[in-house]
Chain A
Amino acid sequence: MSQKLFHVSLSPHIQTRDSIQRIMLDVIIALLPALAVALYVFGLGALQTILLAVCSAVFFEYILQKFVLRVKPTVSDLSAVVTGLLLAYNLPSNLPWWMVIVGTFVAIGIAKMSFGGIGNNPFNPALVGRVFLLLSFPVAMTTWPKPLVNRTALTDVVTSATPLSVLKEGVNGGQTVSTLSAQLPSFWDLFIGTIGGSLGEVSALALLIGFIYLLWRKVISWHIPAAIIVTITIFTGTLYLLNPAVNAHPVFHLFTGGIMLGAIYMATDMVTSPMTYKGMLIFGVCIGLLTVIIRVFGAYPEGMSFAILMMNAFVPLINKFCKPKRFGEKI
Chain B
Amino acid sequence: MIKTFPKGGVHPPDNKLSCDQKIVRLPVPEQAIVPLSQHIGAPAKAVVKPMDLVKVGDLLAQNNGFISANIHAPVSGKIMKIDDCIDVSGYKNKSIIIKTEGDSFAEGIDISQDLNEEIRLTPQQITERVASSGIVGLGGATFPSHVKLSVPKGKTCDYLIINAVECEPYLTADHRLMLEKGKEILTGIRIILKALDVSSAIIGIENNKKDAITYLETLTKNVPEISVQALKVQYPQGGEKQLIKALLGREVPAPPGLPIDVGCVVFNVGTVFAIYEAVQKNKPLIERVVTVTGKAVKKPSNFLVRIGTSVQQLMQAAQADMDQAGKIISGGPMMGKALNSLDIPVVKGTSGILVLPWEDSKRAEVENCIRCGRCVTVCPLGLEPYLLSKLSQKAFFERAEDEDIINCIECGCCSYTCPSGRPLLDFIRHGKTTVMNMIKQRGKK
> Are A and B direct contacts in the complex by CB distance below 8 Å?
yes
A328/B425 in contact, CB under 8 A: no
The distance in angstroms between the C-alpha atoms of A273 and B245, with both chains bound, is 31
Q: Tell yes or no: B254 within 8 A of A by CB.
A: yes
Question: Interface 1/0s, chain B 356-385, versus A by CB < 8 A?
Answer: 101011111001111111001101111110
Residue among B327, B372, B383, B410 making CB contact with A324, cutoff 8 Å: B383
User: Is B25 interfacial (CB 8 A cutoff)?
Assistant: no
Q: Is the CB of B380 within 8 A of A327?
A: yes
State whether the Cβ of B165 lies closer than 8 Å to any Cβ in chain A: no
| Contact partners of A22 in chain B: CB under 8 A | 419
Please indicate the chain A residues that have their CB under 8 angstroms from the CB of B286 in the complex: none
- The stretch from B106-114, B131-139, B212-220, B336-344 touching chain A is B336-344
| Contact A8-B338, Cβ < 8 Å, known A15-B415, A324-B379, A324-B382 | yes
> A325 with B370: in contact, given A6-B325, A6-B340, A11-B337 (CB under 8 Å)?
no
* Category for how many chain B residues contact A: 35 or more
| A274 interfacial contact with B, CB 8 Å | yes
Chain A contacts with B in 63-93, Cβ cutoff 8 A: 74, 77
Counted as pairs of residues, one from A and one from B, with CB atoms less than 8 Å apart, the total is 161
Find chain A residues with CB under 8 A from B169 CB: 14
A12 (CB) vs chain B CBs: closest residue: B412
The majority secondary structure among interface residues of chain A is loop
The answer on a CB contact under 8 Å between B382 and A18 is no
Which of A117-125, A128-136, A295-303 forms part of the interface with chain B? A117-125
Contacts of B381 in A (CB 8 A): 326-328
Instruction: Classify the interface of chain B: helix, strand, loop or mixed.
Output: loop
Q: Are A77 and B367 within 8 A (Cβ)?
A: yes
Q: Is there a chain B Cβ closer than 8 Å to A182's Cβ?
A: no
Contact of B336 with A13 in the complex, beta carbons under 8 Å: yes
Contact A326 B368 (CB under 8 A): no
| Contact residues in A for B285 (Cβ distance below 8 Å) | none
The residue in chain A whose Cβ has the minimal distance to the Cβ of B372 is A270
Q: What's the minimum C-beta distance from A111 to chain B, rounded to whole angstroms?
A: 15
Q: Judge whether B253 is part of the interface by a CB distance below 8 angstroms.
A: yes
Q: B423, A118: Cβ atoms under 8 Å? A: no
Say yes or no: is A243 at the interface (Cβ < 8 Å to chain B).
Answer: no
Contacts of A326 in B (CB 8 A): 254, 381-383, 404, 407
List the B side residues contacting A20 at CB < 8 Å: 367, 370, 419-420
Partner pick for B7 among A12, A23, A275, A327, CB 8 A cutoff: A327
A224 shortest CB reach to chain B, Å: 11
- Cβ of A18: which chain B residues have Cβ within 8 Å of it? 417, 419
- Residue A114 CB within 8 A of the other chain: no
List the A side residues contacting B377 at CB < 8 Å. Answer: 221, 277
Instruction: Determine the distance from Cα of A74 to Cα of B368 in the docked complex, in whole angstroms.
Output: 10
- Interface mask (B169-181 → A, CB under 8 Å = 1, otherwise 0): 1000000000000
**B327 engages A13 (CB within 8 Å):** yes
Contact B379 A15 (CB under 8 A): no
B101 proximal to A (CB < 8 A) = no
Which residues of B sit under 8 angstroms from A325, Cβ to Cβ?
A: 7, 382
* B368 and A328 within 8 A (CB): no
Q: Which of A306-323 contact B (CB under 8 A)?
A: 323
The 16 sampled A-B contact pairs (Cβ below 8 Å) are A6-B340, A9-B327, A9-B426, A11-B329, A12-B334, A18-B419, A117-B368, A118-B368, A119-B420, A270-B370, A273-B373, A324-B7, A324-B376, A325-B382, A326-B404, A328-B254
Residues of chain B whose beta carbon lies under 8 Å from any beta carbon of chain A:
7, 10, 12, 90, 169, 241, 245, 251-254, 257, 323, 325-329, 331, 333-340, 354, 356, 358, 360-364, 367-373, 376-377, 379-384, 386, 404, 407, 410, 412, 415-421, 423, 425-426, 429
